Structure 1
Amino acid sequence: MTSQTLSLMHIQPTIRHFTQMLSQVLRLEVEIVDHRLLRVAGSGPYRSRIGHPSDNTRLLQYVIDNKQEKAVIHSQHDPICQGCGQYGNCGELAFLGLPVMHGERCLGVISLAAINAEQQQRLQDNITVFSDYVRHIASLLIANLTKNPTANDGMDVLFTTLINSMDQGILVLDEHGIMTFANQNALTLLNARWETLANTPITIRPLVASKDFANGNAQHVIAFAAQQEVVIGQHHNGNNRQLFLFAFHQSERPAPINETDSEPRIGQFIGNAPAVQALKQHIARFADSPSSIMITGESGSGKEVLARSIHQVGRRSMHPFIAINCAAIPEHLLESELFGYVKGAFTGAAPNGKAGLIQSAHLGTLFLDEIGDMPLTLQAKLLRVLETREVMPLGASKPVAVDIRIISATHQNLTRAIEEGNFREDLYYRLKVIPVEIPPLRERTADIELLVHHFLNLHTRRIGSTYPGVSREVMALLRDYRWPGNVRELSNLVEYLVNIVPDGEVIDPTLLPPHFHRATPSPLPTVETVTATTLAVPPSLKQLEHQRIIEALGRGVSKAQLAQELEISVATLYRKIKKIRAT
């Protein structure tokens, strides 16, 4: 078949399916016309009148006549639109059209249209990416058309090629939930092979069922065979098919619901850094021991989390875990809280007495946080409990036998406290039979991305919000930060970000508090540096833009304000800054 006889109408069923998928992926309206301006396929308001002339002739005709791309971000300002008979009434706020070329002949136009303000902003923010993407799709159309111009199967080679060429993971299911297509990105994110998924019933449900996530990414549970995975993306139903689009920002596969790690599962103590791996292996060896454990580490490093984890993996896990912060309870109340009291032990005592926390932890674990703040008088009584395994409630005439394991924790230097006479040396050695030290977060930065995703899972599930993405620039800033508050500070930061990021959007550096930006390495080149390298030739538009960005940032102009001045999105501005730093 010659170039003159090729027509997009020959593969109209294929293009129809492709159009619907492209519209769902880009969240824009799509219209495809042939060289006669006859509509081959369309989404939304363009879905009807297939085979009839398109209503938007001026822009489409411009692309065909000039055989080049045409972009309109604000239709009310474009001269072509202003001269149209439907000016102001066509409903299109923005437009991107690309020719489908075969040799020197234009066979038609693939156009993206924005019919609301949200779509207009999305097209403006991603104009270059969408242009490159649609240009690639146009080449696929031509390849399919020249290879098999009479194809009529909607799920043909083109559709498969499209899925496999996408950066997103894509799943396609039939009306019965049977997998019909999956690209390699989807298989990687699901940690599965095609042989496992093919012809297997699959269920997809939102993790937070109480909220409508139709217009944004959300966490979903994908269940197949005996496996369940939590993933981020959009679930669409229509035309007797289901389509699941994995989020672009899903940089790694989130943890499955039921983890079966080869390493010991130390409760909720998250980390894969070498120091944490060694810590988990160490703990697994003594988790069942009744001997006392002392956990040391900086504030916020997760001492109580680790203590609970040790309890959960040991044989005492079915019995109580009692935690008390020795620094948070007034000294005159701490003794009665720990040891309890009998009826009439003192004025104001409960009529029937009260069992202390030590007795409440019988057969389980007693966790004494901030043990360094325990008064000396109570240290002597606690030492006796450890030696005799008996507790004497206030006002009692005989002791009560207890079977407990004590885990203590402190961020203080107890050796110095012993030298200063503030802590008993004999109690210290009784408590520190098994010493455990938690490394600070700044010494295990390899765990930061894993912890961020853990806290995103935790806080979005608790709040009931959409699972957001996290830009690479943000991850880099978090890794460079010193984290004086350790893991607790990271958790609080993620909770804050989850509350302020728009549903389904990506957390970018503009959302981080100012002190995170002070840790940014590799400063921007100075204006003098850029100018000195470009004196020999007149600066290009790109170089002028780079100079403007450098000057504005040097003056302290906010990135949000600068992006507005440049008429680009903040995300685009950060990409430009990243390119400047790389030069």
Structure 2
Amino acid sequence: IASEEAMARDRLRRRQLEAVIGAFDQGVLVVDEYGIMTQANRYALDALHLSAEAVVGRPLQDVLTGTGLYDALGSGTEIKHHRTRLKQHSGETVDAICNAYPVAIDGKTLGAVLTFQHLDDVSKLTYEIWEHENRTTSFDDIIGDSQPMLSVKEFAAKIASGNSTVLLRGESGTGKGLMARAIHRESKRRDGPFVVVNCSAIPDTLLESELFGYEEGAFTGARKKGKLGRFELANRGTLFLDEIGDMPLHLQGKLLRALEDRMIEPVGSVESRPIDVRIIGATNRDLDAMVESREFRKDLFYRLNVVPIWMPPLRERQEDIPMLARFFLDKHCRTAGRRMAALSDAALRCMLAYEWPGNVRELSNSVEYAVNIESESTVRATSLPQRVRVAKRSDGPNEAGGPQGLEALERTAIVEALQRFQGEPRAKEKAARELGIHVTTLYRKLAKYDLA
């Protein structure tokens, strides 16, 4: 009876161990001291396209390429984050990140446990962590109903579902990063990673290894077992190359090869690896002039400039300023724990008169400044940064200290739009489109200003 109870306990422990191994969200392979596989969980079987019966009793080398990991296991060495390739039943290989833990009794190695994750799953995990910290952006999150902004959003939505390289161009602070995220969200790669590289923020000496990764011992200070690059982390997703115009000339050729061949070569490696990423580039620099001066490769420019999108500066979509200012007022009040009902007409006149060389980013910073120093429930012009308070537009009569309020400005814009399309078919629809508002909104404003 005691023997039967012991056997029952052993069976229970074995079932429990199998349940634990099966619950892992990564592959698990157990080998004995001779390197023969004795156990595998469902993740491993699915990754290798094998049944449990086909795995048990086979040498580990049947599914593991190379000898580095196998030799290390033989010596009883623990291994972490080792890049390797596993062989599937069909003969194809899959890239994986492996860990190995020797099993030893009294100093004698009696086997090992290998865990691994498919490289795509590692990339997906990186994306999910990013998603947790950074909410995805849709086209609806990009604020602006002006005609220039509506045209850009409409065009971007049209090309989002494709796989072509996109180049976002425009001044600093115009929202190129938001647009890149919105394109990714509306693309077929929305469930894949969205990985960002700021080409101007990473030192030239590190940018190559950040983009393409590196092998162990590639350079002094290199991490043991190497490091995955942003290209591989973005596999089956989108790689956003911000400030692409600042990429060093000596790296542009390697980037060109990655775009043309869909292959990368990590630093210190002689082996090329396939990639499946969509590239979105962004720059505020004049790439055409840089090509002429040979600061930027012409062939790379053409490869990046497949679908160019120009982001309009804020001064060319002035009618979006009140909406944006209100959004930033709410946002910064929440952050600062303040309550402010509105922006005064005088403050809005100052904002409409200012040229905004820093575009939407500068507008956000100016509203944040006002929220911090305003003592009343309405933001007054005196609370705005001095450069905004004293501004006078050079292209129109609406100066900061002028007599026209925001409603007068709006009424004038509506009258001018109606006059432009007077006598034409569907004149009000055309006027509404030019004003960047819906035609029903136009009718409400016509009634409001006695223009019906």
- State the shift of 1:313 in Å: 2.0
Counterpart pick for 1:329 among 199, 202, 212: 202
Q: Distance in 2 between matches of 1:472 and 1:364?
A: 45
Q: Distance in 2 between matches of 1:509 and 1:338?
A: 46
Counterpart pick for 1:517 among 389, 404, 409: 389
| 1:506 paired to 2:378 | yes
Cα deviations across residues 306-348 of structure 1 (Å, max 9, x unaligned)? 1112112222222211111111111111111111001111111
Counterpart of 2:176?
303
Counterpart pick for 1:285 among 145, 158, 162: 158
Cα deviations across residues 423-446 of structure 1 (Å, max 9, x unaligned)? 111110110100000110000010
- State the shift of 1:382 in Å: 0.5
Counterpart of 1:28?
none
TM-score (norm 1): 0.43
Query: Is the contact made by 2:174 and 2:361 (CA closer than 8 Å) also made in structure 1?
Result: yes
- State the shift of 1:265 in Å: 5.1
Distance 1:331 1:441, change over 3 A: same
Counterpart pick for 1:441 among 311, 314, 322: 314
Query: Is the contact made by 2:215 and 2:269 (CA closer than 8 Å) also made in structure 1?
Result: yes
Q: Distance in 2 between matches of 1:465 and 1:522?
A: 26
| 1:268 paired to 2:137 | no
Cα deviations across residues 251-272 of structure 1 (Å, max 9, x unaligned)? xxxxxxxxxxxxx951532110
RMSD: 1.9
Cα deviations across residues 350-388 of structure 1 (Å, max 9, x unaligned)? 002100011111111111111111112211001111111
Equivalent runs, 1:56-75 vs 2, <5 Å: none
Query: Is the contact made by 1:269 and 1:306 (CA closer than 8 Å) also made in structure 2?
Result: yes
Distance 1:522 1:356, change over 3 A: closer
Cα deviations across residues 404-454 of structure 1 (Å, max 9, x unaligned)? 111111111111111111111111011010000011000001000111111
> Percent same amino acid among aligned pairs?
46
Cα deviations across residues 277-323 of structure 1 (Å, max 9, x unaligned)? 11111011111111100011011111111111211222222221111
| 3-state SS of 1:354 partner | coil
Equivalent runs, 1:17-28 vs 2, <5 Å: none
| 3-state SS of 1:298 partner | coil
Q: What letter corresponds to residue 460 of structure 1 in structure 2?
A: C
Q: What letter corresponds to residue 345 of structure 1 in structure 2?
A: A
Q: Distance in 2 between matches of 1:365 and 1:305?
A: 14
| 3-state SS of 2:239 partner | strand
- State the shift of 1:524 in Å: 7.8
Counterpart of 1:472?
345
| 1:415 paired to 2:288 | yes
Cα deviations across residues 494-528 of structure 1 (Å, max 9, x unaligned)? 1112222237x000111112222322527689xxx
Query: Is the contact made by 1:267 and 1:308 (CA closer than 8 Å) also made in structure 2?
Result: no
Counterpart pick for 2:327 among 454, 473, 477: 454
Cα deviations across residues 510-564 of structure 1 (Å, max 9, x unaligned)? 1112222322527689xxxxxxxxxxxxxxxxxxxxxxxxxxxxxxxxxxxxxxx
| 3-state SS of 2:189 partner | coil
Q: Distance in 2 between matches of 1:524 and 1:292?
A: 46
State the 4+ residue runs in structure 1 displaced beyond 4 angstroms: 522-525
Distance 1:479 1:346, change over 3 A: same
Q: What letter corresponds to residue 386 of structure 2 in structure 1?
A: P
Counterpart of 2:259?
386
- State the shift of 1:463 in Å: 3.0
Distance 1:360 1:310, change over 3 A: same
User: Higher relative contact order by CA 8 Å / sep ≥ 6: 1 or 2?
Assistant: 2
Q: Distance in 1 between matches of 2:202 and 2:338?
A: 36
| 3-state SS of 2:196 partner | strand
TM-score (norm 2): 0.55
Query: Is the contact made by 2:390 and 2:400 (CA closer than 8 Å) also made in structure 1?
Result: no
Q: Distance in 2 between matches of 1:506 and 1:274?
A: 29
Q: What letter corresponds to residue 498 of structure 1 in structure 2?
A: V
Counterpart of 2:245?
372
Counterpart pick for 1:320 among 190, 193, 202: 193
Counterpart of 2:61?
none
Q: Distance in 2 between matches of 1:428 and 1:277?
A: 27
Q: How many residues align?
A: 261
Q: Distance in 2 between matches of 1:368 and 1:461?
A: 32
Greater C-alpha Rg: 1
Query: Is the contact made by 1:468 and 1:498 (CA closer than 8 Å) also made in structure 2?
Result: no
Q: What letter corresponds to residue 517 of structure 1 in structure 2?
A: R
Q: Distance in 1 between matches of 2:138 and 2:181?
A: 12
Q: Distance in 1 between matches of 2:185 and 2:385?
A: 36
Q: Counting helix residues as a fraction of each chain, which structure ranks higher?
A: 2
Q: Distance in 2 between matches of 1:523 and 1:502?
A: 22
Query: Is the contact made by 1:267 and 1:310 (CA closer than 8 Å) also made in structure 2?
Result: no
| 3-state SS of 2:163 partner | coil
Counterpart of 2:211?
338
Cα deviations across residues 105-152 of structure 1 (Å, max 9, x unaligned)? xxxxxxxxxxxxxxxxxxxxxxxxxxxxxxxxxxxxxxxxxxxxxxxx
Q: Distance in 2 between matches of 1:303 and 1:371?
A: 12
